Amino acid sequence: MAIAVPSGFRLAGVHCGIKSNPAKLDLTLIVSDAPAVAAGVYTQNKVFAAPVGWNRRHTPSRAIRAIVVNSGNANACTGPRGDEDAATMAKLAAAAVGAAPAEALVLSTGVIGKFLPMDKIAAGITAAAGQLGRDEAHLLDAARGMLTTDTRHKLAGRRLKLTAREVQLTGMAKGAAMIGPNMATMLSVLLTDAVLDEQTAQHALAQAVDDSFNCISVDGHMSTNDTVLLVASGVAGGGALAADDLAAFRAALGEVCAELAQAIPADGEGATHLVTIDVAGAASRAAAHKIARTVAESPLVKTAIAGADPNWGRVVSAVGYSGVPLDAAAISLKINGHLLYQRGAPVAFDAATVSASIRDQRDTHLEIQLADGDGRVRFWTTDLTAEYVRLNADYHT
């Protein structure tokens, strides 16, 4: 699962002083050596950050040269000044590579409701522009410059051997809380040297996001800043991807997005379990998604998993109140492969064994089987611990 900088891109991550700790990077600059195709998918929150508004106006595009990301300050709920600051960030990043402001995209994450320290941002962009590179260290610094409460950086990649060429796809993401679908990653940037047009890139990204970043939830709270970008330099050459090659690229994009998406709840604030929820047999995919999300966001389900309690009643009742029409007498449930509930009734199981299977490993698997159709989905969430409550009670707003 190769993780490398795709051809045509250079990156840097620096500390510019948004965060008080000088050891924590807080600004990332990604540059395309030539105009690149870019597509974006964004939060559906009606209250959205200024950078989201800027990027929506400038994607899809075939002329992107720079992406600037700051962490520690979300530039959200900051009114006209926030819009001006986002535009200034784009102007500064573009100027660093000799481009126009419309050829730069902007991402911000962190505390809501504070104005950006633009003098520090400007100095950071200048510093990052002087440190651009394409080796592993530059990639890691770029990934770290996006982080806020994350405990680790998040990277994923694939090297694809297509019919007449090889292409690289590499993604980075950040997110640990304020995670709820539509979208559900705080930020992610996916880079590739494949040849894509704007429409193909947008369609492929939207599908990949639907099956990945829109299938995670830590707390059900939709962020103001959620952004996923796909940027294609086209340096691999060979012209537009033919049908089989495009299918292979789309599959790899889905895999990378799913890997990054899963890494977010795996790094959930205070979480002790990553919970994978598989729903099958629903009337449609949308029905399966709604059921999975309802289970994922149930505080009682989440606390039961935190306590290693195989409380099938909480899961089954969450399925029932999801609002999805279903045959309740056909519901079955497995936890970590153990059958607890079958066709609408409990079955005998060894509670101590199932409890140990939850307690003794970080991964927990819920399998919900219905009999209403062919709809299925995979969804990821976390447990809910006292540490999550402490972290978010203490978090500065």
Catalytic residues: 185
- Which run of H or of E encompasses 339? strand 338-342
Tokens representing 326? 């279903």
Angle at 195 between CA 132 and CA 69, to 5 degrees: 35
Task: Give the whole-angstrom CA distance, residue 56 versus residue 379.
Answer: 27
Task: Give the whole-angstrom CA distance, residue 345 versus residue 336.
Answer: 18
Beta bridge partners of 375: 282
* Cβ(188)–Cβ(171) below 8 Å: yes
Tokens representing 105? 């995209």
Tokens representing 129? 């522009």
Task: Give the whole-angstrom CA distance, residue 148 versus residue 267.
Answer: 12
Residue whose pair of structure tokens reads 């193909």 in the numeric block: 200
Residue whose pair of structure tokens reads 């990077």 in the numeric block: 25
The residue among 96, 93, 97, 85 whose CA lies nearest residue 53 is 85
Does the N-terminal peptide bond of residue 222 adopt cis geometry, omega within 30 degrees of 0? no
- Which run of H or of E encompasses 388? helix 386-394
Say how many residues make up the chain: 397
Q: Give the end-to-end CA distance of the chain in Å, rounded to a whole number.
A: 38
Determine phi and psi for 364, rounding to 5 degrees: -125, 135
Task: Give the whole-angstrom CA distance, residue 18 versus residue 95.
Answer: 21
Tokens representing 249? 């690229």
Strands (E), 80-125: 104-111
Greatest alpha-carbon span in the chain: 69
Number of Cβ within a 10 Å radius of residue 21: 9
Task: Give the whole-angstrom CA distance, residue 352 versus residue 315.
Answer: 18
Task: Give the whole-angstrom CA distance, residue 11 versus residue 391.
Answer: 31
